[in-house]
Amino acid sequence: MKKCIYKGTLKSVYVDKDKAEKVFALSYSKSDVLYEALNTARVEDTGLDIPRLLNVSVVDGKWTITSEYAKGETLKELLAKNADAYIEAMVDYQIAINKHSNPLLVDMKSKLERQINELNIPADTKYELDSRLSELPYHTKLCHGDYCPENIIVQTDDNKIIAITAVDWVHATKGNASADAANTYLTLKLSDEALADKYISMFCEKTSTDKRYVDKWIPIVAAARLTKKKPEEKEMLEAMIDICDFQ
């Protein structure tokens, strides 16, 4: 029997034995569903071990993406129990993701530029953000785009990690790992600033990255996140797109 593990206004997720079915609302765009499926397939093609896409179908008029079911707990659940024990695993897996690439994925810098130009913000701010983006290095690493504890699935045995993977690859791009880390930092900061600081410090240490370099990406990814129009993020993100604070 199918079990609902997530129910939202636009999509719901059901588990049926070893399969996960993401069912989209009738109002959901067909092109967005097919794009998510295509992006997931392209991430599979990088060689990264993720839950495989099995099929895309229409059931009762609703588009459905069926994938392998990733058994385990979300990292969000585990961090709530013991943040110190699992934040390193989060960073290590992100670094492993960044070692892969696929030239067919959407280019991160192009996507960020498009998102910035969609915003209703002062022209001089938009110009500064576009200028900063054009100056930052072009990379082609696999980036998740929404790498947060809710999208990381972990299997444990006696509190030891035996498997870890990530789901929801709709925002995956080829781009700069530090930009992806900056986005994760912002996500964590919304709920736990201390955890966010611990995460970004560990990412920089393990990748030998100067934190000032990651800081250069923060106004850009903050502006891009504003296009999602999430009320709970608006105040923080607007404060962070002041590029003068991140020189």
Mean pLDDT by 10 residues, the chain (247 residues): 90 94 96 97 97 96 97 91 87 98 98 95 92 95 97 90 95 98 95 94 97 95 92 89 61
**What is the pLDDT at residue 245?**
52
Amino acid at 168: D
Q: What is the pLDDT of residue 243?
A: 58
Long-range pairs, 110-119, Cβ under 8 A, ≥24: 111/173, 111/224, 112/179, 112/220, 112/221, 112/224, 115/223, 115/224, 115/227, 116/220, 116/223, 116/224, 118/227, 119/223, 119/226, 119/227
pLDDT at res. 148: 96
